[in-house]
Amino acid sequence: MPVEIVRVSDDRVKSFFRETQREARTTLWNFSVVWHEQSYDVAAMEGESILGAARVLIAASLAHIEFVIVRPQARRNDIGRGLLAALEEIGNYYNCHKMTIQVPHHSAAQTFLEACGYKEEAVLPQHTWKIDHAVMRKFLL
Ligand SMILES: CC(C)(COP(=O)(O)OP(=O)(O)OC[C@H]1O[C@@H](n2cnc3c(N)ncnc32)[C@H](O)[C@@H]1OP(=O)(O)O)[C@@H](O)C(=O)NCCC(=O)NCCS
């Protein structure tokens, strides 16, 4: 039968990935892989209101920070620093060896991360929105 490549918008591809991913990841990495992915959120609370929040994705011994956001009126009060520290604690707990995050190159976010002990690991040229991005990291172990 001829093979046709088509767009699929139901759960069949999800099931396909579930069925094939263990073998595929093991072939890809060349060692046996059990993939387990979790994401955790932390928040800086003032009573019932959230002044800032951050999310980390834990997988394959990496803790990838998806975002850190502090409300504009609450900035420069060490809340961002505190949120990063809380994510690093989670990374440590799950035996991650490294924290990573991607931000626009030479941005205020990069300066913030450097103030929190993160180093520039690589620059991805013309990345999201065609802007250069810095891959920032902090080793935990
Ligand atoms: C980046 C962000 C999370 C920082 O949060 P914050 O609570 O203001 O950061 P902190 O007060 O903990 O800052 C710690 C240190 O980082 C540096 N820093 C923080 N914001 C900075 C900025 N805009 N420009 C330069 N340095 C900055 C400073 O050295 C600061 O210490 P200091 O205030 O004693 O000088 C916040 O500005 C924000 O939400 N920005 C929009 C979203 C974003 O860029 N998120 C990060 C990438 S996902």
DSSP for 16-72, written as a single string: HHHHHHHHHHHHHHTS------EEEEEEEEETTEEEEEEEEEEETTEEEEEEEEE-G
Residue 92 has pLDDT above 90, yes or no: yes
Counting the structural domains of the chain, the total is 1
Q: How confident is the model at residue 12 (pLDDT cuts 50, 70, 90)?
A: very high
- Residue 87 sits in a domain of what CATH number? 3.40.630.30
Which residue's CA is the closest to the ligand 1 atom numbered 4?
80
Average pLDDT of the residues of the chain: 96
Instruction: Specify which residues 17 forms β-bridges with.
Output: none
What pLDDT score does 107 carry? 98
In a domain, 29, yes or no: no
Residue 32 has pLDDT above 90, yes or no: no
In a domain, 132, yes or no: yes
40 CB-near residues (< 8 Å, 6+ apart): 55, 56, 58, 87, 90
What pLDDT score does 72 carry? 98
Burial (CB count <10 Å: 0-12, 13-18, 19+), residue 57: middle
Ligand 1 pocket test, candidate residues 78, 112, 114, 133, most atoms within 8 A of CB:
112
Q: How confident is the model at residue 36 (pLDDT cuts 50, 70, 90)?
A: confident
pTM: 0.93
Query: The domain containing residue 123 runs over which residues?
Result: 38-139
Q: How confident is the model at residue 96 (pLDDT cuts 50, 70, 90)?
A: very high
Scan for tokens 């300066």, then name that residue: 111
Give yes or no for a contact between 128 and 105, defined as CB atoms under 8 angstroms apart.
no
In a domain, 92, yes or no: yes
What pLDDT score does 34 carry? 79
In a domain, 30, yes or no: no
Atom of ligand 1 at shortest range from CA of 103: 47
Q: Is the CB of residue 115 below 6 angstroms from any atom belonging to ligand 1?
A: yes
Which residue's CA is the closest to the ligand 1 atom numbered 19?
112
Q: How confident is the model at residue 141 (pLDDT cuts 50, 70, 90)?
A: confident
